Amino acid sequence: MLIGALGVALLAESRQSDALYGVLATALALGLVPTRKNWVGRRSGKVAIVLAIGAILGTLAVGGDLIRILVTASQMAVVIVLILCAALIRPALTELGLDHAVAAMAARAPRSLRGCVILLGVTISGLGLSFGAVSVFGGSLRGRTDDDVTAARAAMRGLALSMILGPSTASVAAVMAAYPHVGWG
């Protein structure tokens, strides 16, 4: 299914087709329905629902064009597909022993500085992997640390710091620089 979504994302990008972006966004949204029991009860799921409803009501309250906003926002579906693809990389990296390498790196630091090591690692890798860095570090360290909460918080702070140092567009710019002959728009 993800390969199909990636194919639609690539086609939508190559043709700059609002219809294909819409199909992709709709498919991703419909994909949330069967798994709603997993995410709707969590705090992050509730916050997402409140934010979505608030954005819709706010748009309607100021007389905004909701359809235009949805069409424009549907282009972000490509980013969601890329984040999901980065999550697929995690098992392969684990198979290669990345989880042991990351855990060993954190273990070398004094206990009081381990959160800083994770923060620094995610910040540096976040410049290239963006949200995938949290997935990689989270998957690598889950159950290997004394305190998963500290590791998770350090990873998220590292991602936020990487966004300050080089916004996620830095990853896009790096790819665009690697393929200068490709037309991007």
pLDDT per residue as tens, the chain (185 positions) = 667 777 787 787 778 787 888 888 888 788 788 888 888 888 888 888 898 899 889 888 998 888 877 777 777 777 777 667 766 776 776 677 776 777 777 778 887 887 787 778 777 777 766 666 766 676 666 666 666 676 677 777 777 777 777 666 555 555 555 566 666 55
Residue 181 and residue 101 share a domain: yes
**What tokens appear for 57 in the block?**
């009501």
Residues 123, 61, single domain; the answer is no
Instruction: Answer yes or no: is 92 within a domain.
Output: no
In whole angstroms, give the CA distance from residue 140 to residue 164.
Answer: 24
* 183 and 123 assigned to the same domain: yes
Q: What is the pTM of this model?
A: 0.47
Of 48, 66, 87, which residue sits at a domain end?
87
- Residue range(s) defining the domain that contains residue 177: 97-185
The answer to whether the beta carbons of residues 158 and 120 sit under 8 Å apart is yes
Q: Tell me which of 53, 87, 121 is where a domain ends.
A: 87
* Same-domain status, 126 and 77: no
- Domain total for the chain? 2
Q: Are residues 68 and 116 in the same domain?
A: no
Running DSSP on this structure, what letter comes out for residue 76? G
Same domain, 176 and 135: yes
CB-CB contact of 133 with 158 (8 Å): yes
